[in-house]
Structures are given as structure tokens and as C-alpha cells.
Chain A
Amino acid sequence: MRKKLVVIGNGMAGMRTIEELLDRAPDAYAITVFGDEPYGNYNRILLSPVLAGEKTIGEIMLNDDAWYSERGIVLRKGKKIVKIDRVRHCAVADDGETAEYDRLLVATGSLPIILPVPGAELDGVTSFRNIHDVDTMLEASRRYDHAVVIGGGLLGLEAANGLMKNGMDVVVVHLMDTLMERQLDFEAGALLRAELEERGLKFLMQGKTKQIVGENGHVRAIRLETGEEIPTDIVVMAIGIRPNIELARRAGVYCDRGIVVDDTMLTYDPRIYAVGECAQHRGKTYGLVAPLFEQARVCANHLAHKAFASYRGSLTSTKLKVTGVDLFSAGDFSGGPGTHEILLKDAQAGIYKKIVVKNDRIAGAVLYGDTIDGSWYFGLMRDGVNVADMRRQLMHGQAQLGDAGHGGASAVISMPASAEICGCNGVCKGAIVDAITGKGLFTLEDVRAHTKASSSCGSCTPLVEQLLAVTLGSDYSTTPAEKPMCGCTDHSHDAVRKAIVANKLKSLSEVMRFLEWKTPNGCHSCRPAVNYYLLCAWPDEYADDAQSRYINERAHANIQKDGTFSVVPRMWGGLTTPAELRAIADVADKFAIPTVKVTGGQRIDLLGVRKEQLPEVWADLAKAGMISGHAYSKGLRTVKTCVGSEWCRFGTQDSTDLGVKLEKMCWGSWTPHKVKLAVSGCPRNCAEATIKDLGVVCVESGYEIHVGGNGGVKIRVTDLLAKVASEEEVREYTSAYIQLYREQARYLERTAHWIERVGLSYVKEKLVDDPDGRKKLHARFLHSQKFAQIDPWAERAREKAYEREFRPMKELERI
């Protein structure tokens, strides 16, 4: 018999937990859900756009009745649970219905705070919390002209904006002297106020409400402490929320400000879990939706008896859902001892930015008017990245808007719906926004799955994140630091790697068994990653799994759009010989290869080779001494060089020869993503070394080593890692750097992204400040190369065992 799970609260926290639970253990429980609102589950964070007339109620429903019945969930709408009987293990509804439980999930959310002033009970006084409140306000806006909103915080301003859009004359009464004082400093608050005043909102600052004055039971005005009266037809109280914990408290479940839970979301009663705004974790309650995604994941993990996930609290950021107002706030922006402020203000353009730095880490940020870098700052803050080395660029942003056709425009808010956001897949702004609201999407991954935006090259990711933030408002949180690798597991990339090393896991099946993979053999996303992690951890023991390789790495050639492949032989440092060129020409003739092209990495590419031709093409190239150029691998691709001191009148060192040496050392290595090197013979930098994963720029006195460059999707210029005097040191730094990247970056993370995530200071610490550690990394790299430097082409051209990869199983003949 299945265990019984009862959920109190049919809101986002409860249902998100159920969705996560069904994903992990679809048949573990018979589930009953009680909700006191007469609706299915809806997206509460989109109530503001509904009020503003930008969305309809239908558009914000997340789960309709059919959703529940299809999953065998019993839904009791419009039923309020009035008692939890912890002795009999049942919940009792207001009509007497009881529901027994083996496990109980309390997700009762929060309640609006109502000012304890005379007149608060009058007709026309409302809060802003649910569909009923929105209906009340919309109804009032049709009948009346004047509204007062008490509270100049996030919710109050969204309510005021909505009422104004419905044609009402709105006054916001705020206790403090600046708006949204918990999210904005004085400067940003002033800009916001000026913007909203221009749109027609009126503000009464430092106004303390004394009484709500009525006439015939309906509100007529509010009276302030000063005696001033503001005539109005409705009053919206939006001064805050408090966790809704009465039910739990009466049942004797330990509560403080919220229902106290541990890191598994379990309350002091081992049968009762709590998630969402009603829960208090490590002394904190959350009034935003973003943290509950993480809470739901952890809670579901334990309900499904997986018992390893833990919740460690959330860092939240804020956005205002007022169309056209662009602001972002996160962390502690108040400054104080030990902190430094970086400021930018252009009042005329309506731009203000403040970044607060403490101990070389971002402690908080306030952005107004241009928030494109909000998610970047938030990520740096959340991950505690040392920003000492990027401090001078910090204010100017990540500048990662490159080639996706938006010309560097940063404010998605002002883009028309027809503006193309994702240049790879041709997805425009309107389609993304419609998907977010229409399909109830919350995360970048959701948007990628449903619209394909940001799912190819990723250059538009910040724009898509901005669209999520703008559409969902304060409740969108950027992807969590410790997100699961993919849908097959709850473990993050870093956790999987740690487990492989710590528990000496040496095969894919061991990893998946030990870490309780949810799918029998993973997917196209996790399997190549785990295969790489195993290869990196146990270079001399692990047998590479061909079926966990992308086709390019399985067939050792690049698949093209028509299913043919391209072949790029290695040319060390970009050097070639007449004999090699002749062999290439002969191959091209013999196999009627349609296209021959010179690549960006100084190689020759033979395009349009059929798969079954590959072994013969390779065999012919091998006769001229050529091996695989690995132009298809997540591994070392090319070392690009200039002619250097051997020929060039400006050359300072023999860059060509150094490039060849580096390539001989590094070829064949597998890395998290592709790695490209270059060596330039002088600062004129003809080999374009400063946009490579590692670039050497020769100077008269030695060699500059630059790292973390990228010339692709997002152009990133390298950072200077070190300057050294000898070629031997260049070799040691290069191998140590690649090995550090191999051991620590996440699969498919280029060096540029990795360095931005961990910070250049960290990489310097490991490679420059710690010569001993550097030498060990160098040694580990050379050790692993002993097993990696086997030419895969020669192997496949020679050995029968590989034949099945390249030959059809059977040729049938038509009659």
C-alpha cells in the first residue's frame, strides 16, 4: 500500500515540491492537496501584470484540474485545513473532512500584514496577495477614481502602477523617506521616484497612517498622524507579509517567525515538512519565490527517500515588475566599515550603478536603468569570487553581448517584441515572453527547452536571463551555483567529480549506481561529462566509453549538416611540407572530396567525406606521416604561430618552434571543452594569442603567458598570468594551467568562463604563487599524456575492431 502524503497549500511551493517528487518517485505516495483558494495552482508572482492588464488570469494558471487528475492527485479546492492532529496523523478541513497522512507537507505561504489602525476593516480596504485581491482592485478601478496605496516597497509600487494603468489617480503613502529602502539606496530610490512621478504616480513620503476614515461602511479617506487627510475610494495595504504559521503553531509544531525547518526542510515533527514562505531556515524566512525552487528540490529528494540533498539557504536578488522600469538589487548595499563603493551615475540617461566590495568580494549591488550585468554581479557575489583582478572592469560589465544581432543593446525592456534575441535559432523577444508566461517557465533551462533560445551558442543567455527577470520580477533568481548536472541526477558537476575521486568510482555504472542516477543510463548531457571526469581522474585505469562520446569524438571527425564528416590532419604549429601538401592533394583527388579549406587554426580541412571513407582517408594521410588534428575534440585543438625570429625582422623569439614544442607536449589531451593555443613572436601578436585559451607573446626579455581568451561566441581578451624567462618555464606553466583546467572546470566550460567563475586571482594563486603545486600539476599532466597520446586515426585505420563504427551493417537491394 502506498504511503499517504497530504499537502496543505495549493500554491507554488507545494506544487513545485510535488512536481519534483513525481519526477523522482512517481508512485511513492497517494497525494492529497488542500487549497483554500477556489482555483488550481497559479503563478502568484504574475499577479502584478494581471492587475496592470498585461496578462489574464488564464495566462498565469500553472496547473489546471486535469493536471492533478492525470497524476492521480486528489485536489480539494476551496477547503481550508483548520487543524493538524499530530497524534492521529490527520489534517482536518473546515467542513469536517479529515485526511490521514504518513507524511505532511505544510506550504501555507504567507499573509499580508494589515495595519492595526481604526478603519482597517472598512469596505474598500484590501491587501495585494491573491486573485481575490486583484479582482477587488480591478472592480474598484471600474467604479472609482481615487486610490491610496500604503507602502512604497516592491509590492506597493507594483500595486500602485497597476491601479494607475487602470485609470485611477493613485497616491502612495510611504513611512520612510525613500522608496524600496530595503532594496535601493537613496540615489536609486530618488531616480525611481522621479520616473514614477513622471508617469503620474503621486508620493507622500514619511507619511504615517493614523486612521482610515469611512462613510456608510466604505472607505472615504485616510488620515495621517499630521492630521492631513487624503480622500480616496480604495486603500491597498502593501506594507509586507508574514509567514502563515497559525495552523502549525496550534498543532504544537515548533515555530519562531516561521515554521522552523532543518537543512532537509523537515520540521521538529519527523512526519511534517514545510516549504516556501511559511518556513524558517537557519533563522531566515523568504518572501520571494526564487528560494522555494531549491527548497522544493531538497524536500522532494527526502520525501523520495534519496536522503542526500541539503538546503543551505538562498541569496536573493530583486527586480521590480513595472514595465519600463529597470532596476536590480542584491546583497548588502549599505556600505559601512571595511567596504568600498564603486559608483556610476548619469542622471540624465537615468542610469545609476553601485557595487559594494568587501574583502575583494562583491557584497551587494544596486543597478538602475541598466541592469544587464545584474545576473553577472549576482553570480560573482553568490560564488564569493575574488574580484581583485577584475576590479577595474567590474563597473563596465561583462560585455558578453556579442554577435547575436542585437548590436550590444542592453535593455531588453525597450526592445520591441519582434527583436531577435537568439540569433542561432531565430527566437524573438515576444516568443520568449509568451513562453515564460504562457507555459509557466521559471528558469533558463525551461526557456531553452521550450523555445530553443540560448540553447546553441549561449551568447544571448544574459538577455534571456534579463527577460526572465523582467517578466517574473523579483522572483526570478539566476541559476543556482549548485545546480544538478541534468535531469538524470540531483548532483551537481562538482559533487559528481568529488564523489568519483573520494570514493574511487572507476566506471560509469559505478558512478550512476553510487550516486543513484534517476535514469538507467543517463542522457546525452551527463554521460559524456561523467566519462570525461572518469578519464581525467583515472588516466591510467579508466577505459574510455565510446558510447558516451559525441559522434565527433567517437568517429574522430567532425559531423556536418548532411551527415558527412570533415578531416583535419595535424600540422604542428601550423607548419607543413610539400610532401604533406601533396598527400593531402592526392587524398582529395582520390576520394573526390568536394571542399578543401584553410581553417582559422592554420590547418587544412577536407570537407564532405563519407563516414565509411574515413579509415581509408586516414590510412593515406598516415603514409605521409600525418596524425589526427583533433579538430573535433573537447581537447587540445591547435597551436597557432607566427614565423617569429627565424624569418621575421621584428621577431624576438623563435615562436614557431616554441609552438611546435607546446603542440607536441599537449596533443591528444582531453579537456572539459576545446583548448586553443597560440604563440606570437613579438607584441604585434600576429598569431592573435590574446584571444586564445592560452597565448604566449614573446618579448625581448622572455615570454608573457596570457590565459582565458576566447575569439568565438563572446570575445574575451586574455588576462596576463605571468611573465617568464625560458621556454622550459613556458612549458611548465602551460601544462600546469591545462591540468588545473582539466581537473577543476565543469564539462563544456571553456577556459574563459571557468576563469570568470573562479577568478583570475585563484588561478594565479595555484600557478604563480605556488611553484610546488605548479610542478605537481605539470607532472600530472605529463603522466596523463602517456595514455592520451595515441593517434586515434592510425588505430582505427589499422584495427578491425573499429570497423563496425564506420561500415553499414548491411546493404539491401531493392527489387
Chain B
Amino acid sequence: MRGWTEIGAVADVSRLGARVVRCGELRIAVFRAEDDRVFALEDRCPHKGGPLSQGIVHGCRVTCPLHNMVIDLGSGHAVAPDEGQARTFPVKVIDGAIWAHLDDIPVARVKAVVE
């Protein structure tokens, strides 16, 4: 599983909630939809940098807590008529563990604390 990193368990995230995974300066927001689908986005709203992980999750969307911009969790795109895109990371769930594909992070490769 080259480039994939385990970042937590599905059970660690509440339904319609989010948790943060920190990686140096980078914050990754991990969301769990009502149907247990999991998404990972950079925790930064394209509008004014608000922490998306703190927003209200509904369907496959999150509303930024600062100015209510609504972001599609799958694509990271702001929902029309707003414009902008948050950075997304591919994720998959294996046996209840969440794995994210992080190796395009520009600074350096990432090593998980727990291998």
C-alpha cells in the first residue's frame, strides 16, 4: 500500500461529524457521513480558510463554520453559486480502519506514527 497511511478508525469519528489529523502544519479533516462513507479534506475552507472540521455535516456536504460556505465532501468544490475548491485526499476503509493517500503532500513524504 505505497503512499497510503492509516489515519484512524471509522469508529473514532461520529456519524455526521469530523475529526482532525495533524501532520506538522497541515490539518486534515476526516468526515463521516450518515451512511458511514468517509472523506478527507484539507481543513481549510477555500473562502477564508475556516476549519471545515468544525462545520455541520449534512448529506455528503459540510458547511464552513465561519461564513456558511457549503463544500461538497467528495470533490472539495463549493456548492453553487459559490466558487472555490478545498483540497481532497483519497481515502479507503479496510476493516474499520481509515487509510488516506497522502504522498502528494508537497513538503515531504509522511510517516505514520503508528505503522
Q: Footprint of B on A, CB under 8 Å? A: 449-450, 455-456, 519-524, 527-528, 546-552, 555, 559, 561, 563, 804, 808-815
Q: How far is the CB of A549 from chain B (nearest CB, A)?
A: 8
A812 touches B12 (CB 8 A): no
B55 touches A524 (CB 8 A): yes
Q: How far is the CB of B69 from chain A (nearest CB, A)?
A: 10
**Which residues of chain A have C-beta atoms less than 8 A from B88's C-beta?**
none
B30 touches A551 (CB 8 A): no
B58 touches A522 (CB 8 A): yes
A559 touches B65 (CB 8 A): yes
When the two chains form the complex, which single residue of A521, A549, A563, A815 contacts B108, counting CB atoms closer than 8 Å? Answer: A815
Given known A-B contacts A524-B55, A810-B7, A812-B113, A804 and B63 have beta carbons under 8 A apart: no
**Which residues of chain A have C-beta atoms less than 8 A from B13's C-beta?**
809
Given known A-B contacts A521-B34, A563-B51, A814-B111, A808 and B56 have beta carbons under 8 A apart: no
Cα A518 to Cα B82 in complex, Å, equals: 22
Cα A559 to Cα B56 in complex, Å, equals: 14
When the two chains form the complex, which single residue of B19, B22, B30, B54 contacts A563, counting CB atoms closer than 8 Å? Answer: B54
30 contacts between A and B (CB under 8 A): A450-B81, A520-B34, A520-B59, A521-B16, A523-B56, A523-B58, A523-B59, A523-B63, A523-B70, A546-B14, A548-B56, A555-B54, A559-B66, A563-B50, A563-B51, A808-B19, A808-B22, A809-B7, A810-B21, A811-B23, A812-B22, A812-B24, A812-B102, A812-B112, A812-B113, A813-B112, A814-B24, A814-B111, A815-B108, A815-B111
Q: Which residue of B lies closest to A528 (CB)?
A: B56
Query: Within 8 Å of chain A (Cβ to Cβ): is B107?
Result: yes
Q: Which residue of B lies closest to A424 (CB)?
A: B67
B residues 84-115 near A (Cβ < 8 Å) are 102, 107-114
Cα A680 to Cα B54 in complex, Å, equals: 39
B56 touches A804 (CB 8 A): no
Cα A813 to Cα B112 in complex, Å, equals: 6
A809 touches B20 (CB 8 A): yes
Given known A-B contacts A524-B70, A547-B16, A547-B17, A809 and B56 have beta carbons under 8 A apart: no
Q: How far is the CB of A714 from chain B (nearest CB, A)?
A: 21
B56 touches A561 (CB 8 A): no
B14 touches A547 (CB 8 A): yes
**Which residues of chain A have C-beta atoms less than 8 A from B7's C-beta?**
809-810, 812
Query: Within 8 Å of chain A (Cβ to Cβ): is B74?
Result: no
Query: Within 8 Å of chain A (Cβ to Cβ): is B73?
Result: no
**Which residues of chain B have C-beta atoms less than 8 A from A456's C-beta?**
67
Query: Within 8 Å of chain A (Cβ to Cβ): is B48?
Result: yes
**Which residues of chain A have C-beta atoms less than 8 A from B16's C-beta?**
521, 547
A814 touches B23 (CB 8 A): yes
Cα A450 to Cα B83 in complex, Å, equals: 11
Cα A519 to Cα B15 in complex, Å, equals: 16
Q: Which residue of A lies closest to B63 (CB)?
A: A524
B residues 24-71 near A (Cβ < 8 Å) are 24, 30, 34, 48, 50-51, 54-59, 61, 63, 65-68, 70
5 shortest A-B CB distances, which residue pairs?
A524-B63, A809-B19, A812-B23, A551-B54, A524-B56
Cα A176 to Cα B114 in complex, Å, equals: 87
When the two chains form the complex, which single residue of A449, A524, A549, A809 contacts B30, counting CB atoms closer than 8 Å? Answer: A809
Given known A-B contacts A520-B34, A524-B63, A561-B66, A808 and B54 have beta carbons under 8 A apart: no
**Which residues of chain A have C-beta atoms less than 8 A from B114's C-beta?**
810
A808 touches B21 (CB 8 A): yes
B58 touches A521 (CB 8 A): yes
A524 touches B58 (CB 8 A): yes
**Which residues of chain A have C-beta atoms less than 8 A from B17's C-beta?**
546-547
When the two chains form the complex, which single residue of B19, B22, B110 contacts A815, counting CB atoms closer than 8 Å? Answer: B110
Q: How far is the CB of A548 from chain B (nearest CB, A)?
A: 7
Most buried by B among A519, A546, A552, A809: A809
B59 touches A521 (CB 8 A): yes
Cα A550 to Cα B55 in complex, Å, equals: 7
A812 touches B65 (CB 8 A): no
Q: How far is the CB of A521 from chain B (nearest CB, A)?
A: 5
Cα A813 to Cα B22 in complex, Å, equals: 8
**Which residues of chain B have C-beta atoms less than 8 A from A552's C-beta?**
65
B21 touches A551 (CB 8 A): no
Knowing that A563-B50, A809-B8 touch, tell me 20 more A-B residue pairs with CB under 8 angstroms. Answer: A449-B81, A521-B16, A523-B61, A524-B63, A527-B56, A546-B14, A549-B56, A551-B54, A551-B55, A551-B56, A563-B51, A808-B20, A809-B13, A809-B19, A809-B20, A812-B21, A812-B22, A812-B113, A813-B24, A815-B108
**Which residues of chain B have C-beta atoms less than 8 A from A809's C-beta?**
7-8, 12-13, 19-21, 30
**Which residues of chain B have C-beta atoms less than 8 A from A547's C-beta?**
14-17, 56-57
Cα A813 to Cα B67 in complex, Å, equals: 31
A804 touches B19 (CB 8 A): yes
**Which residues of chain B have C-beta atoms less than 8 A from A449's C-beta?**
81
Q: How far is the CB of A784 from chain B (nearest CB, A)?
A: 24
Q: How far is the CB of B4 from chain A (nearest CB, A)?
A: 12
Q: Which residue of A lies closest to B51 (CB)?
A: A563
Cα A546 to Cα B108 in complex, Å, equals: 36
Q: How far is the CB of B59 from chain A (nearest CB, A)?
A: 5
**Which residues of chain B have C-beta atoms less than 8 A from A521's C-beta?**
16, 34, 58-59
